[in-house]
Structure 1
């Protein structure tokens, strides 16, 4: 899925947060709903202008961000402390 066709970043919309194209609905809002236990059908019922592909694009966008994230250990040999 090409997220660029569904997710945009425009400084004039929500201060440049990633949003679903043609809406003012942010990717993080949809992810928050899903993380809070909302089902896909509940999201679509609440936001009838969205499609299943929009929801999947939000998830894919987040996956792409996490996948490209680089984590560097600050402890010796990558040991996790705490």
Structure 2
């Protein structure tokens, strides 16, 4: 199964991918915080507020945009099956 994500949708994400920053790992725009840190912290049981306290350079809006993108992508997968 393949999933098509519009380039415009990706460009609206608050994410930067640059080989010179964190070896090319996707990071929150304007930070060196890997996007993966959000998911990892939530998996570990931290709340969104706790994550934001631990990573003050990430805004609530940035984190919510990533979570909404993840949710909508998973919903697209569900509708494809």
Alignment TM class, shorter chain as reference: 0.5 to 0.7
Answer yes or no: is the 8 Å Cα contact 2:33–2:58 preserved in 1.
Answer: no
The equivalent position to 2:66 in structure 1, one of 47, 51, 58, is 58
Aligned pairs, number: 69
In 2, Cα distance between equivalents of 1:10 and 1:67: 28
The verdict on how the C-alpha distance between 1:25 and 1:34 changes in structure 2, with shifts beyond 3 A counting, is: same
The verdict on how the C-alpha distance between 1:67 and 1:24 changes in structure 2, with shifts beyond 3 A counting, is: farther
DSSP 3-state at the match of 2:12: helix
With normalisation by structure 2, the TM-score equals 0.65
Gaps of 5+ in 2: 1-8
Q: How does 1:6-21 map to 2 (within 5 A)?
A: 6-21=14-29
In 2, Cα distance between equivalents of 1:64 and 1:7: 17
Bigger proportion of residues as helix: 2
Gaps of 5+ in 1: 70-82
Q: How does 1:2-81 map to 2 (within 5 A)?
A: 4-63=12-71
The verdict on how the C-alpha distance between 1:7 and 1:60 changes in structure 2, with shifts beyond 3 A counting, is: farther
Deviation of 1:3 (Å): 5.9
| Structure exhibiting the larger radius of gyration computed from Cα positions | 1
